[in-house]
Amino acid sequence: MASINHKQEPSAKDLEIKGMLPVSNKPDIELLVDDQGSLQIKNLDNPIGLLEPEQILSENAEKFEAFDNPILGCKRFIRDRITLYRNRKETTRMYHVWPGKNVFFFGGRLVCGPDPRGFILTTISIVLSSWIFCIYIGYDLKKHSGLVVALAVALTIDVLVNLIMVSAIDPGIIPRNDKISVDGVGSSDGSDSKRVRVNGVEVKLKFCRICKIFRPPRSCHCAICDNCVEKFDHHCPWIGQCIGQRNYRFYLMFVLSALIFFIYIFSFSCRRTVQKMLETKTGLFKTLGNCPETLALASFSFVAMWFLGGLVSFHTYLIMQNQTAYENYRQYHIGSPNPYDKGILSNMKEVFFTRLPPSRVDFRAEMTPETCSEDAKLEHHRTILLNRVNAMKLVEGKHVNKETGDLALTDSDGEHLIEIKSENI
């Protein structure tokens, strides 16, 4: 049973608090009421007891307010919430402590880039184009309008599925090595690089000071996502994700399906324009003036066709040469043989028909302070604490007094819930 210890004789308020404490045969929380009437939690397994106010809560220091007697404000906390504290078991996984800038969804199953604006803009463009086409063009056709609309919807779904696949899959992130120091690497003896032979051609491996690894051939560190990515192609701002070994195939499928989608829209937009010209017996410009939605959709589709067509042509060339966009940009194989070129058919087979390698980082792996690296241990503790507090909606405000180091937690109404003395933090 949780207990209340104090130096003086229990007061009426102390007894009231004690009567509200829940009973449990697995005590793991001890509430202390000191002689000033401040309620404290003294247990290392309790998340509040592990909070480090100077590192986590310093930004709210100016909002700290002292409370002389928080006992009455703790009633709701004690009655409704402490059982959740006692019984809740949080599991910290790799994606909680991953030092990169990726954003994870569904418990680390989806790995996305740090900036979603490009993905959102691309999605809106596709959905809005499809909606305008179906409403103003597809249903206005005299023949086979239902079939035209159905094909447009099917193409839209195909494009969106490929977009989600390329933006939410691990592109080939390489695990970091936090167990070594970089102090001795990169010295004058040239130890910041190694040379290996790939298919008889000497290839230079560079040391990444952020990930603390010698990057495998064709890998590169993405400054936007802050990860080393295997067979790095580029970081696509329109998708918001790195394009690497594990999602390059889906990227090509997305670009190709989007190109077909906009060709389809542009073709029927032109057909509707001709149809309106014949019906009204007017010129092109007057007809387009009477159908502004067709003009806007055809113009946007035309620009998208040229952009996507250029991408398809460029990546077709890269596939035939077995190059990445990054290698082509840096001109790695100018004047020297490409050790990865296996011939056009073999190169295409490698891209489209080989089995995707498993992710090298298990972002759902359970982590403990013992299995975490030294750099990740602090983040491990912070994540556990913040997840527990946020998941249970325990507190709204977390304020620390810079002078005393005491921690105060308040709810959404500003009511004081709990105060923890600095010596117990």
Catalytic residues: 236
Give 72: exposed, middle or buried? Use CB within 10 Å, 0-12, 13-18, 19+.
middle
Residue 226: CB partners within 8 Å, gap ≥ 6? 99, 100, 101, 210
Is 401 in contact with 61 (CB distance < 8 Å)?
yes
Please report, as a single letter, which amino acid is at residue 197: R
Radius of gyration of the chain (CA): 30
Beta strands in 209-318 (DSSP E): 213-214, 220-222, 227-229, 234-236, 241-243
Q: Looking at 288-411, which runs of residues are DSSP E strands?
A: 397-400, 407-410
Q: Which of 137, 355, 359, 167 is nearest to 255 (CA)?
A: 167
Rounded Cα–Cα distance for residues 262 and 133 (Å): 10
Contact assessment for residue 32 and residue 39, using Cβ atoms and an 8 Å cutoff? yes
Are the CB atoms for 95 and 108 separated by under 8 Å?
yes
Cα–Cα nearest to 397, from 67, 170, 33, 132: 67
Torsion of CA 370, 372, 374, 380, to 10 degrees: -100
User: How far, in Å, CA of 136 to CA of 132, rounded?
Assistant: 6
For 347, the token pair is 């190169």
CA dist 172 and 319 (Å) reads: 18
End-to-end Cα distance, the chain = 22
CB 144 within 8 A of CB 276: no
